[in-house]
Amino acid sequence: MELKQAWRTNGFVALLAGLVVLAVCIAAGIGSVVVMADGGSGAFAAVVVVAIVLGLATLLAMSGLTVVGPNEARVVQFFGRYVGSVSEPGFFTVIPLADKQTISLRVRNFETQTLKVNDADGNPVEIGAVVVYKVVDSFKAAFAVDDYEQYVATQSEAAVRHLATIHPYDAHQENVISLRDGATVAEELTDELRERTASAGIEVIEARITHLAYAPEIAQAMLVRQQAAQVVAARKQIVQGAVGMVGLALDDLKAQGIVDLDDERRAQMVSNLLVVLCGDRATQPVVNAGSLYA
């Protein structure tokens, strides 16, 4: 069975017609009772019975009146049988004696708890996410699952746990997606949640990681590791720049004919320049006094 529109008609017209019929029934019944009390014929008793039956039938028909607000839907169920949904806002009347369940179609936010999960490298991490969703199929939301809100909450936590187990916190290799790659991870989480919640008539608009951190027991160790990685990366950049500067200096010395160095002195100059450029402390020049008196 799929989502369908329930039979409905204008509620104002139905309400007005019902009030008119009730007023006529009441007037006819009271008038017949008065006439019978003054010695009228027994035929007026039948009028009273008809007025009562018609009045009860009118009240029964008016039980189908319902108000549908903006971004809401009424799932109409007649003695256990689904007869359709009303998603158009307004005042309507549907089948009398029907059960009318309200389903909100508004956009909602759900934020998962902070979950403790092992990432792809086996490191314990704390992760949380926010999910933006709405109901697009009131029939599935009402009958496919027991509680669609709880269903979304459970599936969201399961998807976040699965996402954390297939990606590392930090990518130490190229072409590896880590949990810190916000846009890519958010797209993966959104796609997975859409697949998980489609059977409940839910459309996931967006899902994003809102909390990501190492677990407290390894946070300090991982901080040291991150700092070491940054130091290595910085040193690598410094060495690459220093090698370029040394090559440029040697080429300029040779081109301008300032000094002619053999291989041994060239190697010594390269060593000295690299020490000066790559060192993390200020250099102190040393003058070779022996060469001055030679």
pLDDT number for residue 93: 93
Alpha helices in 198-215 (DSSP H): none
pLDDT number for residue 293: 46
pLDDT number for residue 283: 56
Nearest to 223 by CA among 169, 177, 167, 178: 169
Residue 131 to residue 113: CA distance in whole angstroms: 12
Identify the CATH assignment for 108-214 out of 3.30.479.30, 1.10.10.10, 3.30.420.10, 3.10.20.340. 3.30.479.30
Kind of pairing, strands 108-111 and 81-86? unpaired
Question: Residue 252 has which token pair?
Answer: 């300029």
pLDDT number for residue 292: 43
pTM for this model (two decimals): 0.69
Taking the chain (294 residues) in runs of 10, the rounded mean pLDDT of each run is 87 91 86 69 73 89 91 92 92 92 93 90 90 95 92 94 90 79 90 94 94 78 64 71 74 69 68 64 55 46
Q: Token match 């041994």: residue?
A: 264
